[in-house]
Amino acid sequence: MRYCARCLYPENARPTIIFDEEGVCSGCRYHESRIKLEVNWEERSVMLERILEEAKRIAKRNGNSHDCIIPVSGGKDSHYQVWLLKKKYEMNPLLVTFNHAYNTPAGNRNLYNLVEKSGCDFVRYTAGVDSVRRVSRYMLQTVGDLTWHYHAGIRTYPFQVAIERNIPLVVWGEHGFAELTGIVSLEDFVEFTRWTRKEHDMRGYEPHDLIGKGGITERDIAPYIYPTDEDIARVEVRGIYLSNFIYWDAKKQAEIMMKEWDFAPVTYERERTFNLHGKIEDHANDVHDYLKYIKFGYGRATDDASMEIRHGRMSREEGMAMVNRYDAREPSTLGTYCDFLGISKQRFYDWMEPMRDKRLWQKNKIGIWQPQDEVFRHEIGDLEEHARVLPSKDRTMSDSNRRMYYNPNNPPLKTGIQALDQPSVSFMVI
Ligand SMILES: [Zn+2]
């Protein structure tokens, strides 16, 4: 297996990455291009202001009190989006949550916190657990994804609300697809469309494709049906990504939100990453991520360490140690989801068997799947030395980052709040 000479992504990473002649991946190059001065952020900030002013004007004309929708999960990004639009741009957003039912106690704590601190109006749609179970189970078996309904719901429901309430602007945070792979560039000013939703977020499936499969009915898929072209045109809804207009620095933004609005990371060591503040609202994330490991041989620790390496906050050596510590671990919540979906663990692994990337996975003599390669088995050579970024003074595992990343030698202080101090093996539906 070939790995990026800078970050830790393997050549079979999803979505697709490509390597240049220096052995550096497109995701790393994209990251670099954002830091370079070629991007005129001031000009872009003015563009954003114009879009937001226009939304205010339309809202006023329509007699609508909300000038935009911000889809929120309660995570660090949604805190920042709301804070920025409210404080800096004086918008009056309607916060919209698609509740997929797989919530952590920490996530609920932070979502309630966001609603309270922002003072914004808030709509939360909770998908019924019966439909969640059917859709989740079918998509796990078919494409190895038990969280398809999240992506479908989060990317659809805000637009249903936009049409219903005549609100023409939906504001997303980061265009994460670009940062992961570098396939689209900042010059493209990508906006959210029906197509990007289906291809990037929904694995090429439209909800109607699911009807009749695994007992899924028309009722089950209602929250995932995107408005018609006519409706979109009538309300003139557009979906923009803030990361096209402001320099997106996820860590700095999380720090601002911890300080300004008391966004709270967890304090316990998570099972699949050293990161204590990202996606902590998503209870199924551990299993979701473990599925990625089963398929492609890498997981969340590779993602998180690669990001730290690109920022110069972590060395390649430190990153490899993180991958070694976390990526292969079976999460203790796997049993919870197998029980919920009504399958045995054995069946779970049987379903996943055809989805394993056979370039990486082979069965050993006693029939156990073994990865044939791992990034930390590779020695650091000239290519890797040459590809290193300048180390930042800000080190991932330093004392000042104690609340944000888990350092076993210097773990974060407990808060006294159980939701933040204790992992929960079961999820909260509401
Ligand atoms: Zn890379």
359 and 230 within one domain: no
Q: Which residue has the higher pLDDT, 175 or 170?
A: 170
Work out the number of other CB atoms within 10 angstroms of the CB of residue 344.
Answer: 11
Q: Which domain holds residue 144?
A: 41-244
HSE, side-chain direction, 13 A CA sphere, residue 288: 17
CA of 23 to the centre of ligand 1 (A): 8
CA of 343 to the centre of ligand 1 (A): 37
Distance CA 11, CA 108 (A): 37
CATH number of the domain within which 160 lies: 3.40.50
Average pLDDT of the residues in 382-406: 98
303 and 222 within one domain: no
**pLDDT band of 373, cuts 50, 70, 90:** very high
CA of 269 to the centre of ligand 1 (A): 26
Average pLDDT of the residues in 366-387: 97
Give me the amino acid identity at 80: Y
The domain boundary, picked from 181, 213, 244, lies at 244
Examine residue 269 and state whether it is found in any structural domain, yes or no. yes
CA of 284 to the centre of ligand 1 (A): 26
Average pLDDT of the residues in 299-307: 97
pLDDT in tens, 65-78: 999 999 999 999 99
pLDDT of amino acid 411: 98
CA of 382 to the centre of ligand 1 (A): 16
CA 71, distance to chain mean position in Å, is: 13
**pLDDT band of 381, cuts 50, 70, 90:** very high
Distance CA 350, CA 344 (A): 10
234 and 293 within one domain: no
Position 181 pLDDT exceeds 60? no
Examine residue 21 and state whether it is found in any structural domain, yes or no. no
Hey, is 401 helix, strand or coil? helix
298 and 173 within one domain: no
Position 60 pLDDT exceeds 60? yes
CA of 81 to the centre of ligand 1 (A): 27
pLDDT of amino acid 188: 72
Average pLDDT of the residues in 33-56: 89
Examine residue 389 and state whether it is found in any structural domain, yes or no. yes
Examine residue 252 and state whether it is found in any structural domain, yes or no. no
208 and 330 within one domain: no
Position 62 pLDDT exceeds 70? yes
CA of 320 to the centre of ligand 1 (A): 13
Average pLDDT of the residues in 237-242: 93
Q: Do the Cβ atoms of 405 and 304 come closer than 8 Å?
A: no
193 and 237 within one domain: yes
CA of 304 to the centre of ligand 1 (A): 12
Distance CA 282, CA 300 (A): 13
Examine residue 20 and state whether it is found in any structural domain, yes or no. no
- Sign of the Cα pseudo-torsion (79, 424, 277, 48, in order): negative
Hey, is 97 helix, strand or coil? strand
**pLDDT band of 14, cuts 50, 70, 90:** confident
Instruction: Name residues whose C-beta falls within 8 Å of residue 111's C-beta, 6 or more positions apart in sequence.
Output: 72, 73, 74, 97, 281
CA of 190 to the centre of ligand 1 (A): 22
310 and 347 within one domain: yes
Q: Six-digit token pair at 168?
A: 């023409």
Q: Do the Cβ atoms of 296 and 373 come closer than 8 Å?
A: no
pLDDT of amino acid 18: 93
Q: Which residue has the higher pLDDT, 414 or 27?
A: 414
Q: What is the mean pLDDT of the chain?
A: 94
Position 405 pLDDT exceeds 60? yes
Q: Six-digit token pair at 354?
A: 């055809």
DSSP 198: I
pLDDT of amino acid 178: 58
**pLDDT band of 393, cuts 50, 70, 90:** very high
CA of 306 to the centre of ligand 1 (A): 7
287 and 176 within one domain: no
Distance CA 77, CA 370 (A): 36
332 and 270 within one domain: yes
In Å, what is the CA distance from 269 to each residue of 13, 275, 336?
Answer: 26, 9, 19
pLDDT of amino acid 182: 59
pLDDT of amino acid 37: 64
274 and 191 within one domain: no
The domain boundary, picked from 244, 279, 311, lies at 244
CA of 182 to the centre of ligand 1 (A): 10
Give me the amino acid identity at 242: L
Q: Six-digit token pair at 413?
A: 């202080």
In Å, what is the CA distance from 346 to each residue of 71, 330, 353?
Answer: 37, 13, 11
In Å, what is the CA distance from 339 to each residue of 23, 288, 330?
Answer: 44, 16, 16
Examine residue 386 and state whether it is found in any structural domain, yes or no. yes
Distance between the two ends of the chain, CA-based, in angstroms? 42
Examine residue 358 and state whether it is found in any structural domain, yes or no. yes
The domain boundary, picked from 176, 210, 244, lies at 244
| % of the chain exceeding 70 in pLDDT | 97
Distance CA 428, CA 430 (A): 5
Position 301 pLDDT exceeds 70? yes
In Å, what is the CA distance from 66 to each residue of 75, 82, 93, 232?
Answer: 22, 13, 5, 17
Average pLDDT of the residues in 288-293: 98
Examine residue 33 and state whether it is found in any structural domain, yes or no. no
Q: Six-digit token pair at 356?
A: 């394993």
Phi, psi values for residue 14, rounded to 5°: -120, 140
Instruction: Name residues whose C-beta falls within 8 Å of residue 123's C-beta, 6 or more positions apart in sequence.
Output: 94, 95, 96, 97, 161
| Number of domains the chain is built from | 2
289 and 216 within one domain: no
**pLDDT band of 203, cuts 50, 70, 90:** confident
70 and 143 within one domain: yes
CA of 180 to the centre of ligand 1 (A): 9
In Å, what is the CA distance from 347 to each residue of 23, 257, 328, 335, 344?
Answer: 39, 42, 19, 12, 5
Distance CA 134, CA 39 (A): 45
Average pLDDT of the residues in 171-192: 72
Q: Which residue has the higher pLDDT, 38 or 359?
A: 359
